[in-house]
């Protein structure tokens, strides 16, 4: 029986088990590494299935040997507690590690080693990997759409100004702190609108007019998302309050509004905004397509934001309302100072969720002929000179969207931490 002792790792021979186990684990991972990176199969003399499963079996045995509770080694305990609690968990861990190792070489070679970036034509792409030349050539279109090349500085300038103005909050003195909310909620959007109207759209001050149909690419994604985010939030907040109002008119209007917009698909809304809506307007009344789209998306997302905020309002204990009322606060003071700050804090994750969805919904504006980044991709991939590079384009767009959304989700997480107070 003594010989079977090695099947039950214990603390007495801690280091023997740890070293043997680690060595076996290393061998199993190294074997997979060799076969996927260098195509060397060390165990090729064994029958196929055995050769395939061997790393898993060796690895599992290694994990089994190092599964020693309360070993006193910090990292070993951490490992055992989190990924090596049982044979099943150990197997899952190993399989995931193997999958990552196996997926690395092909993706690396597609992205980097076999990819091309030199040259300006399709012919420059000779490798079997990605053709980044395509992205390079089309980059301006992906960023600015059909906006004339020589005027693109106007977009750059206004975006840089807007970003700079967004950081005003960090540098304002103590005295101006209380105006910050006002600044961000009202003044900043107005500045943004003025900048975009006069600088990007042009038409006055000697700047050439560029119609919104020519705008596009990533800059359009930003413009649409920015204004929709800014508008849908306050509208959603009012709708959420309205839905809980005691006044029947306001209440049923809010309910009707929310249920209507949540019930129709965004694509229909966009289509209506560009085709149906102008029919109801007076003849000489002109509203730009982009403006109509922004209004449509804002109203659409406002309905979702409203329901998210309502969830937060309902989560607050009734005592908070009682306390605020008993201090003589009226409806608006109570909501502005007591209820909304707490409710909004609760729903930051939900709001972030809605906002991320909004940003990723913006490509849908292609149905009304506005081409933001994904729309431009659709255009570029059907260009006769550049057929066959859809993959590169979509990967590129995916990376850009991922960066935007990840930044937003990080920011929302930071907000959550910042406003965290113990209850």
Partner 1 sequence: MSDPIIKIENMNKWFGDFQVLKDINLSVEKNKKIVVCGPSGSGKSTLIRCVNRLEEHQKGSIIVDGTELNENTKNIEQVRAEVGMVFQQFNLFPHLSILDNCTLAPIWVKKMPKKDAEELAMNQLKQVQIDDQSNKFPGQLSGGQQQRCAIARALCMQPKIMLFDEPTSALDPEMIKEVLDAMVNLAKQGMTMIVVTHEMGFAKEVADEVIFMDEGMIVERANTKDFFANPKNDRTKLFLSQIL
Residues binding partner 1 (CB under 8 A): 317, 319-320, 322-330, 333, 337-338, 341-342, 345, 419, 421-423
How far apart are CB 338 and partner 1 at their closest, in Å?
A: 6
- C-alpha angle 356/359/361, rounded to 5°? 105
131 three-class SS:
strand
Which of residues 334 and 368 has its CB atom nearest to partner 1 in the complex? 334
Which of residues 153 and 331 has its CB atom nearest to partner 1 in the complex? 331
Residue whose structure tokens are 């290393």: 26
By the 10 Å C-beta count (0-12 exposed, 13-18 middle, 19+ buried), 304 is classed as buried
CB atoms within 10 A of CB 168: 14
Which of residues 282 and 330 has its CB atom nearest to partner 1 in the complex? 330
How far apart are CB 351 and partner 1 at their closest, in Å?
A: 17
Q: What is the C-alpha to C-alpha distance for residues 81 and 380, in angstroms, rounded to an integer?
A: 51
Q: What is the C-alpha to C-alpha distance for residues 273 and 294, in angstroms, rounded to an integer?
A: 10
Which of residues 140 and 345 has its CB atom nearest to partner 1 in the complex? 345
Which of residues 30 and 331 has its CB atom nearest to partner 1 in the complex? 331
How far apart are CB 104 and partner 1 at their closest, in Å?
A: 47
- C-alpha angle 26/38/63, rounded to 5°? 15
> How many C-alpha atoms does 370 have within 13 Å on its Cβ side?
28
How far apart are CB 423 and partner 1 at their closest, in Å?
A: 5
Give whole-number Cα distances, 292 to 160, 345, 370, in Å. Answer: 26, 31, 12
How far apart are CB 325 and partner 1 at their closest, in Å?
A: 6
Q: Any residues with CB less than 8 A from the CB of 263 and at least 6 apart, and which?
A: none
How far apart are CB 415 and partner 1 at their closest, in Å?
A: 13
How far apart are CB 237 and partner 1 at their closest, in Å?
A: 17
Element housing 372 (H / E): strand 371-372
At 378, list the tokens. Answer: 């659709």
At 189, list the tokens. Answer: 């959007």
Which of residues 225 and 342 has its CB atom nearest to partner 1 in the complex? 342
Find residue 74's DSSP bridge partners. none
How far apart are CB 335 and partner 1 at their closest, in Å?
A: 12
Which of residues 111 and 419 has its CB atom nearest to partner 1 in the complex? 419
Q: What is the C-alpha to C-alpha distance for residues 30 and 37, in angstroms, rounded to an integer?
A: 10
Which of residues 120 and 174 has its CB atom nearest to partner 1 in the complex? 174
Q: What is the C-alpha to C-alpha distance for residues 188 and 186, in angstroms, rounded to an integer?
A: 6
């Amino acid at each position: 029986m003594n010989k079977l002792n090695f099947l039950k790792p214990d603390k007495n021979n801690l280091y023997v088990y740890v070293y043997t186990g680690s060595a076996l684990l290393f061998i199993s991972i190294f074997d997979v590494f060799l076969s996927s990176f260098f195509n060397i199969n060390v165990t090729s003399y064994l029958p196929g299935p055995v050769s395939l499963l061997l790393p898993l079996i060796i690895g599992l045995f290694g994990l089994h040997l190092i599964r020693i509770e309360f070993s006193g080694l910090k990292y070993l305990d951490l490992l055992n507690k989190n990924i090596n609690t049982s044979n099943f968990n150990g197997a899952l861990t190993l399989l995931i590690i193997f999958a990552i190792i196996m997926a690395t070489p092909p993706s690396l070679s597609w992205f980097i080693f076999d990819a091309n970036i030199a040259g300006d034509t399709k012919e420059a792409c000779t490798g079997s990997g990605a053709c980044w030349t395509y992205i390079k050539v089309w980059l301006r279109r992906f960023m600015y759409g059909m906006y004339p090349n020589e005027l693109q500085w106007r977009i750059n300038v206004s975006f840089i100004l807007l970003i700079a103005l967004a950081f005003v909050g960090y540098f304002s003195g103590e005295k101006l702190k209380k105006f910050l909310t006002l600044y961000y909620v009202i003044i900043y959007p107005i500045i943004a609108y003025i900048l975009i109207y006069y600088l990007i759209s042009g038409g006055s001050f000697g700047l050439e007019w560029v119609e919104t149909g020519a705008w596009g690419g990533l800059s359009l994604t930003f413009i649409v998302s920015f204004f929709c985010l800014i508008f849908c939030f306050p509208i959603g907040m009012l709708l959420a309050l309205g839905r809980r109002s005691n006044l029947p008119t306001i209440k049923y209007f809010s309910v009707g509004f929310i249920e209507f917009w949540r019930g129709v698909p965004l694509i229909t809304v966009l289509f209506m905004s560009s085709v149906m809506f102008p029919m109801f307007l007076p003849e000489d009344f002109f509203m730009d397509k982009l403006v109509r789209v922004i209004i449509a998306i804002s109203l659409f997302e406002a309905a979702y934001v409203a329901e998210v905020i309502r969830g937060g309002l309902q989560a607050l204990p009734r005592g908070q309302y009682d306390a605020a009322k008993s201090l003589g606060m009226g409806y608006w003071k109570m909501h502005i100072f007591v209820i909304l700050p707490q409710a909004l804090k609760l729903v930051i994750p939900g709001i972030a969720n809605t906002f991320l969805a909004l940003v990723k919904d913006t490509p849908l504006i292609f149905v009304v002929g506005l081409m933001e980044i994904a729309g431009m991709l659709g255009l570029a991939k059907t260009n006769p000179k550049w057929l066959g590079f859809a993959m590169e384009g979509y990967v590129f767009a995916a990376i850009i969207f991922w960066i935007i959304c990840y930044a937003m989700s990080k920011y929302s997480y930071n907000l959550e931490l910042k406003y965290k107070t113990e209850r």
